[in-house]
Structure 1
Amino acid sequence: MKKYGILSISIFILLIYAFTGDVYAQSIEYLRGKVIEITSEDLDLDFGGGMSGDVQYFKVEVQSGELKGQILELENTSFGDEVYDLWFEVGDRVFIEVYETDQGFSGHVVDYQRDIYLSILLVVFLVIIILIGKIKGIKAIISLGVTIILILKILIPMILRGYSPFYMSLLTAFASTLITYIIIGGFTSKTIGALAGTLVGLFLAASISFMISGLAHIKGISGDEINMLLYLPTEINLDLTGLFLGGVIIGALGAVMDVSISISSSISEIKKNSPMISFKGLFLSGMEVGKDIMGTMTNTLILAYTGASLPLLLIINAYDFSFTRMINMEFIAIEFVRAMAGSIGLIAAIPATALTTAYLMTRKEMKKDV
């Protein structure tokens, strides 16, 4: 048990590094601070040109860097934009960008500090997994850490260096699936069966999304984040269509893995408790389990993509677009292809997993019969 404790601590450190390592390395100019006093607030000021807004004057105590302990007097302007405006209260923890002026140091608030609360949430998540799952929970944490590191330290950097997002996503998905299954179940017939089902499902999801994106002229350019990628400070021309296809693969990976390992584990348990069961019996049992899982997991995928697109759906409904106009909008088409391709891949994983696992579990008996 001791070695698993060491592993869990190690993977926790890797998770923190994966989430925050690059952020802190690239954000040295941003200092932590705490709002200690609201000096004054001027509301409904006229800025001319029909613009009005509110101005807030406050003091911030710097809590990191060479200026730690110093008090800065800052101001903040709000124009009534709920998305981008900030409005502070005493006690708020913030990030500030500091610069030197003739009168000393000044700066402005960049954003709230959120990493503290996210770290607390992460610790709670890890503790619950370990308490409920014990050794298997620790293995789940290790596999999660490996997946996060593969994405943040390999997939994303390789894409930014100009490698194909589509093929890099496929390789990342394969590596993540293989490592996760080996960590959780070891190199067994159950693992090989689940791996085969996952790969079949992902390959089908990738093939369908690739084909439909070409036929439907889906470029993958949708949303502010994608548009911002067009202006990255790099000479690399990102393949946005490949990025969309890679997103389909990564998005479907979790659900397909879940279905495959559930079916494979069920078949393994059935074989353990009924050693004389035939290949056909195991296969049909796996299919029945898969059918029960299929409905909920397909809903999970579709609801996840719908939830991500909910603001866009509200806008479309508010402006009363027709169904024909709506379904032909690229960002709707993108989410539709993601949901459908992922769901088809998930469904295809069911017979592939059941067939492979049932064969591996009964191959010795089948050879004896021959």
Structure 2
Amino acid sequence: MNVLVWLTAILFILMIVIGGKKGVRSFLSLFLNFGVLFITIFLMTNPKNSPIILTLIACTVISWISLFYINEMSSKTVTAFISTMITIVILLLFIVFVTEKSMIRGFGEESTEEISIFSLYISVDFVQIGASVIIISTIGAILEVAISIATSMHEILHHNPFISRKKLFTSGLSIGKDILGTDTNTLFFAFFGGYLSLLIWFKDLSYSIGDIINSKVFATEMIMIFCAGIGIALIIPITSSVNAYYLIKKREKTENAL
């Protein structure tokens, strides 16, 4: 417990020193987002509640906290929020379809011994739960890409006020290409780092490469990585197009008013 307190204090001090008031809001947002996730998980245990709808609500609240509470209300955060919600809806529909077709819902045979003492009749839709897990795991990376592209495109228009919509959109895509590789690798290593013990367990069980690839546990993690990467790839053109449309429209209204 003392270690947790010290680490929390060190993080809080560093965020204040480096980020100032925004650092304080960023620190508080961690607990707010944790509260949102805790409430969402608690509500998912009720069979009457749809995990998909709860996930959409949770992602909306998390996006609001991460964008408007930390960075305050501005045209950058508004366009980033719109882009994020469009991407989440598209990705969620795609993930539900993939989860249904790939038959990865439920527990793998490796977990049979651990869960044998529990009742499996819990009346929870594991297809929707699996989709919710992937979305919640990806929301942070999607938000990061959205606000990064939105901020960069606003700066481009500020320094080049007469840029065309097409060139502004192309600039957003170019920025996204640089972010795509690093964020995809971040997700890849984050997932594999968290499941390193699983890979070691596969080795102890003398699994062949074919057994590992066809294992439900491994397949689930790989699908999560690929879907998360698809989400990051989708947010780039969506954010670029939303910002290009909004910024040029705003410039045209300003010119007409003059």
Pick the TM interval, shorter chain.
0.7 to 0.9
Q: Deviations over 1:340-360 (max 9, x none)?
A: 111101110001011111211
Cα distance in 2, alignment partners of residues 140 and 280 from structure 1: 34
Corresponding residue for 1:40? Answer: none
Cα distance in 1, alignment partners of residues 251 and 50 from structure 2: 45
Partner amino acid, structure 1, of 2:106 = G
Cα distance in 1, alignment partners of residues 59 and 215 from structure 2: 29
Mapped contact 2:142–2:232 kept (Cα < 8 A): yes
Which residue of the other structure, out of 155, 159, 174, is the alignment partner of 2:44? 159
Q: CA deviation at 1:273?
A: 2.4
Which residue of the other structure, out of 209, 231, 245, is the alignment partner of 2:118? 231
Q: CA deviation at 1:294?
A: 0.3
Which residue of the other structure, out of 155, 158, 161, is the alignment partner of 1:272? 158
Mapped contact 1:173–1:250 kept (Cα < 8 A): yes
Corresponding residue for 1:361? Answer: 247
Corresponding residue for 2:62? Answer: 176
Mapped contact 1:203–1:345 kept (Cα < 8 A): no
Which residue of the other structure, out of 70, 78, 82, is the alignment partner of 1:196? 82
Corresponding residue for 2:191? Answer: 305
Q: CA deviation at 1:224?
A: 5.3
Larger helix proportion, structure 1 or 2?
Answer: 2
**After the TM superposition, which residues 4-83 of structure 1 pair with which residues of structure 2 at under 5 Å, given as runs?**
none
Cα distance in 2, alignment partners of residues 236 and 325 from structure 1: 29
Mapped contact 1:130–1:137 kept (Cα < 8 A): yes
Q: What TM-score comes out, normalization by structure 2 length?
A: 0.87
In the alignment, does 2:93 pair up with 1:213? Answer: no
Query: Secondary structure of 1:221's match?
Result: coil
Cα distance in 2, alignment partners of residues 361 and 229 from structure 1: 57
Mapped contact 2:83–2:235 kept (Cα < 8 A): yes
Mapped contact 1:209–1:337 kept (Cα < 8 A): no
Q: CA RMSD in A?
A: 2.5
Q: Deviations over 1:189-219 (max 9, x none)?
A: 2112211222233233322321121112111
Higher relative contact order (CA 8 A, sep 6+): 2
Q: CA deviation at 1:236?
A: 5.3
**After the TM superposition, which residues 124-139 of structure 1 pair with which residues of structure 2 at under 5 Å, given as runs?**
124-139=10-25
Cα distance in 1, alignment partners of residues 207 and 189 from structure 2: 22
Mapped contact 1:189–1:357 kept (Cα < 8 A): no
Cα distance in 2, alignment partners of residues 268 and 253 from structure 1: 23
Q: What TM-score comes out, normalization by structure 1 length?
A: 0.62
Gaps of 5+ in 1: 1-114
Deviation >6 Å, runs of 4+: none
Q: CA deviation at 1:131?
A: 0.8
Partner amino acid, structure 1, of 2:67 = Y
Query: Matched residues, percent identical?
Result: 29
In the alignment, does 2:218 pair up with 1:332? Answer: yes
In the alignment, does 2:235 pair up with 1:349? Answer: yes
Q: Deviations over 1:5-41 (max 9, x none)?
A: xxxxxxxxxxxxxxxxxxxxxxxxxxxxxxxxxxxxx
Partner amino acid, structure 2, of 1:159 = M
Mapped contact 2:100–2:127 kept (Cα < 8 A): no
Change (3 A) 1:352 1:230: farther
Gaps of 5+ in 2: none
Change (3 A) 1:269 1:135: farther
Corresponding residue for 1:69? Answer: none
